[in-house]
Structure 1
Amino acid sequence: MYDRYARAVFRYAAGRVGNGHADDIMSETFLVAFERRESFDITIGDARPWLFGIATTLMRKHSRVEAKAWKGLVAHGAAAVPDDAIEAIGSRIDAEFAVKAIAAALRKMPTRDRDALLLYAWADLDYEGVAQALQIPVGTVRSRLNRARRTLRAASHRGSTPDQEVEHGRNNVAAETA
């Protein structure tokens, strides 16, 4: 099981708490999974929802680490955005604004909504998989994802750059004056 799912658990944890703590979360996840191996239904086949559920619970226990990671992302922005070409500067500024706005929204989002969203988006689970991981009904997953998406949409609009707003304004003004 470790060989099959360790990389996926690591990627999910790294996305939430950073590479430095992802190894610890991954190790703890498989330790807990081994201790609770009798609770896994082998007829399901895919252990990802079960493992991601364990990892999510562990990250909740280490929530200070995750909160610090989100704050760092808000403070430092999108460091991985390329800046080697003149054309990339505008894209980088746009990306930094968007990343900061979305990271801030994720940090402030209720834990239950953030967990559902990140299991769906980063762990690549479907609604049923998220429901299994969090041990909640599928309808609750849909509600939490809907709230999370609305929050992120609002944040992405707040994270637009002044140039984007001016450009949209110019297009609208030109249409109105014509």
Structure 2
Amino acid sequence: MSTDDFDEAAAWSAARGGDGPAFASLFDRHRDRVFWHALRLLRTRHDAEDVTAIVFLEAWRKRESVRLVDGSIIGWLLVTTNYTVRNQTRSLRRYRSALTRLPQPAPQDDHAPAVDEAIDREERTRVVREAFARLSQRDQDVITLCVLEELTTGQAAEALGVPEGTVKSRLSRAKQRLAAFTGAATAATSAADATTDTPTDPTILEGGAR
């Protein structure tokens, strides 16, 4: 997956034996990719940073069972990111439920300038994020590896420990489900806009599900 001279397989072999500096080199190599994937799925950088830390902690704790693909651990890290985000989201739901029972703060005037493009971009992100969250763990993993991170179906199969044909069939079904969920969310948004006489941008999901 990489064309540079870094021998990731050798570094991982050393890390599995307890070599801290070798593990640190792998953290430096992959932390940004894990962070940006986590940020795709979460609302804030703080949450994405927490998930990134947890993923690498799990990699260290479970290093005996981590599966390499083409000499790299990135596939395992990305799948573990999905799993961690799902758990994180469940915890956040519980916290938010508790927060709703607290007194609401007094409203404050928003003095920030209105930027329509930023609002539209946030709405597209919200729709795709929520649609992705509705997918099963298996669907999330195959979309992450093959669509978001552009691994080959063969590499994804090796990372997931399943036949390549299974990945291809899962990918096809996962894309269909993601498209259906994003379409349903857009339709719901359009209906809400119509009731408030607010025009809806027909390209809201452009560049979303692929």
TM-score category, normalised to shorter length: 0.5 to 0.7
Gapped regions of structure 2 (runs ≥ 5): 1-25, 95-113, 191-198, 203-210
Equivalent in the alignment of 1:14: 39
> Deviation of residue 142 (structure 1)?
1.8
CA contact (8 A) 1:2 1:30 kept: yes
Runs of 4+ in 1 over 4 A off after TM superposition: 40-43, 65-68, 91-101, 155-158, 160-165
Q: TM-score, normalised by structure 2?
A: 0.53
Distance 1:13 1:95, change over 3 A: closer
Distance 1:46 1:66, change over 3 A: farther
CA contact (8 A) 2:38 2:52 kept: yes
Distance 1:94 1:132, change over 3 A: same
The structure with higher relative contact order (CA 8 Å, sep 6+) is 1
Say whether 1:30 aligns with 2:61: no
Counterpart amino acid of residue 60 in structure 2: F
1:42-57 maps to which residues of 2 (within 5 A)? 44-57=70-83
Higher helix proportion (structure 1 or 2) = 1
Identity across the alignment (%) = 29
Structure 1: how far apart are the matches of 2:134 and 2:68?
A: 37
Distance 1:33 1:142, change over 3 A: same
Gapped regions of structure 1 (runs ≥ 5): 69-82, 166-178
CA contact (8 A) 2:153 2:167 kept: yes
CA contact (8 A) 2:78 2:145 kept: yes
Compute the RMSD of aligned alpha carbons: 3.5
Equivalent in the alignment of 1:106: 132
Q: TM-score, normalised by structure 1?
A: 0.60
CA contact (8 A) 1:8 1:123 kept: no
Higher mean displacement: 19-28 or 34-43: 34-43
1:105-124 maps to which residues of 2 (within 5 A)? 105-124=131-150
